[in-house]
């Protein structure tokens, strides 16, 4: 299955968070989405977003142009 990638390069807070919130609803629980962003704020924002929403922050890598963030949608309780 093609991985859901959200390209937020060049977009600023709060747009990356908003796009992630929309994208995560489109995948099944347990599946992941990847966010590409270059707003430096995302380094703190996505861990906190995951803390509040309950989704799992799988990985956050620094890339040449910014960050590559992988988030797993939380499973239905």
Q: Which of residues 38-57 bind other proteins (CB under 8 A)?
A: 49, 52-54
- CA 61, 19, 28, 53 dihedral sign is positive
Strand-pair category, 4-8 with 32-37: parallel
Query: What interhelical angle do 42-53 and 15-25 show, nearest 10?
Result: 40
The yes-or-no answer on residue 13 being catalytic is: yes
Examine residue 59 and tell whether it contacts other proteins (CB under 8 A): no
CB of 12 to other proteins, least distance (A): 5
Footprint of other proteins (CB under 8 A): 10-15, 17-18, 20-22, 49, 52-54, 74, 77
Residues involved in catalysis? 13
């Amino acid at each position: 299955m093609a991985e859901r990638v959200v390209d937020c390069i060049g977009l600023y807070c709060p747009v990356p968070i908003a796009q992630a919130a929309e994208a995560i609803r489109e995948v099944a629980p347990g599946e992941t989405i990847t966010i590409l962003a270059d707003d430096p704020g995302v380094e703190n924002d996505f861990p906190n977003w995951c803390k509040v929403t309950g989704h799992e922050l799988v990985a956050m890598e620094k890339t040449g142009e910014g960050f590559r963030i992988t988030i797993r949608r939380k499973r239905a309780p």
